[in-house]
Structure 1
Amino acid sequence: MAQQTLSSRQKKILSFIERFLDKNGYPPTIREIGEAVSIASTSVVNYNLNKLVERGYLERSPEVSRGLRLVKDSAQELPVRYADITSMLPVPLVGKIVASAPVPLPGEDFGYYYDTDDMIDVPQSLVASMPGDDLFALRVNGDSMIDAMVADGDIVVLKRQNIAHNGDMVAVWLRERGETTLKNYYNEGKRVRLQPANPTMDPIYVDATQVEIQGRVLAVLRTMH
């Protein structure tokens, strides 16, 4: 039987999945696919993914949000690589890391509650054997860490902790300023230097007593720019 022709929309979705897999090593979510190909409705994305499954391009694991496996690429050849969807760890995405109110951290101790819509699936390989209860994720707003390969819109996965070593990339709450920020941490005695990874930006110097570390970055989930 002749291969059914894919629609323009389905070709765009398949092409995006290929690029995303090649860049990240794991598949995109339905929301990420929709944003990339300008489809607002997740049900429309889901419909087209099912069509790609029917036509032999994809396999899906419906119980996993990143449960896509590329069977054939857009050239109808076997792909070079597959994404491992068998070891995905659900991690709460609790907000953005921005210079404003402190980001609420997950867990009852922090007075923050979330439902399944706030969860993202993170490859276990990116966070080693870290238990999911110790992890949370933030979407980055800004380019202060661009030279550390953390761009605007990317998601950082952090271990919840209140201490850091020099050179660690951390999310911190600056009490006096009433701001949160993502920077490299350096303890210089009575003050802390928060170093951006952007040559156009100056470091931030803060009284050590005014710095509250919220978490240390373990991994970066990149978005397509």
Structure 2
Amino acid sequence: MNLTPKQLHILTRIRDIRLARGYSPTMQELADELGVSKVTVFEHVEALIKKGALVRQPNKARSLEVSPEVELPDETRSTRLPLVGSIAAGSPIEAVEDREHLDLETIFTPPGTSPRNTFVLRVRGDSMIDEQIRDGDYVVCEKASQARNGQTVVALLDTGEATLKKLYREKDGRVRLQPANEAYEPMWIEPDRVQIQGILIGVVRTY
């Protein structure tokens, strides 16, 4: 959709105001916010409606809304998730954040659903092999600071190392990070020495 910079700015402000207030701005409110005349805003809004970028209900105040078919530049693509580093499925490794992305659109067709505050890690090691999580897999995780017993989590140790394991809270107060491979021993850690960074919600594998 071919929009001018001013039209794109107006479209973005209408979206942001609707999200913040729950209703659309008036023409005068838009003009005041943008520092232009009401006539100028009206012209841009009419052009946006003609292009199909804006939808307005006839004879109803504050009814402007962005067309559901429009994706603004600052909106995250539903299939593009931040790849923030690697996660150990063996011995813990240093947690390092890389500025990369994993685009699920290049792997799955049709594209997946919108992310729920998610991130992706590349697996290193085979300690979760019995959960069908292999070395080189990508694990899709939802950001979380709490998890239920038995959930597979991204656990950050107080040493600055991160690991992917099943979480169990024992009666003695300790946290058990349980691998899914008999070749590995569980990790027993005091609760103040570990932080939950995320919960596993999916695994991506390429061949």
Alignment TM class, shorter chain as reference: 0.5 to 0.7
Aligned to 1:93: 83
Aligned to 2:95: 102
What TM-score, normalized to structure 2? 0.54
What TM-score, normalized to structure 1? 0.50
Structure 2 residue runs without a partner (length 5+): 1-76
1:125, distance to aligned residue in structure 2 (A): 9.1
CA distance, structure 2, for counterparts of residue 213 and residue 103 of structure 1: 16
Q: What RMSD in Å do the two structures reach over aligned CA positions?
A: 2.6
CA distance, structure 1, for counterparts of residue 195 and residue 111 of structure 2: 25
CA distance, structure 1, for counterparts of residue 185 and residue 116 of structure 2: 35
CA distance, structure 2, for counterparts of residue 119 and residue 200 of structure 1: 31
Q: Is the 8 A contact 1:90 1:120 kept in 2?
A: yes
Structure 1 residue runs without a partner (length 5+): 1-86, 105-111
Q: Provide the secondary structure at the position in 1 that maps to 2:164.
A: strand
- 1:167 partnered with 2:155: no
- 1:198 partnered with 2:181: yes
- 1:181 partnered with 2:171: no
C-alpha distance 126-214 of structure 1, shift in aligned 2 (>3 A): farther
CA distance, structure 1, for counterparts of residue 181 and residue 190 of structure 2: 22
- String of CA shifts for 1:108-167, please: whole Å, max 9, x gaps: xxxx8x4xx52321659997x6x4260000000000000000000000000011101000
Q: Is the 8 A contact 2:126 2:133 kept in 1?
A: yes
Q: Provide the secondary structure at the position in 1 that maps to 2:175.
A: strand
CA distance, structure 2, for counterparts of residue 124 and residue 194 of structure 1: 35
CA distance, structure 1, for counterparts of residue 109 and residue 176 of structure 2: 32
Aligned length: 125
Comparing 188-197 and 153-162, the one that deviates more: 188-197
Q: Is the 8 A contact 1:93 1:120 kept in 2?
A: no
- String of CA shifts for 1:177-225, please: whole Å, max 9, x gaps: 331100000011421000000011110000011111110000001232x
Q: Is the 8 A contact 1:141 1:153 kept in 2?
A: yes
C-alpha distance 124-173 of structure 1, shift in aligned 2 (>3 A): farther
Q: Is the 8 A contact 2:122 2:136 kept in 1?
A: yes
Aligned to 2:131: 148
C-alpha distance 203-118 of structure 1, shift in aligned 2 (>3 A): same
Q: Percent identity?
A: 39
Q: Is the 8 A contact 2:85 2:95 kept in 1?
A: no
Q: How does 1:117-128 map to 2 (within 5 A)?
A: 118-121=101-104
Q: Is the 8 A contact 2:86 2:123 kept in 1?
A: yes
For the pair shown, which has the larger CA radius of gyration, 1 or 2? Answer: 2
Q: Is the 8 A contact 2:104 2:111 kept in 1?
A: no
Q: Which amino acid aligns with 1:188?
A: E
1:88, distance to aligned residue in structure 2 (A): 5.8
1:209 paired residue among 184, 192, 198: 192
Q: Is the 8 A contact 2:86 2:95 kept in 1?
A: no
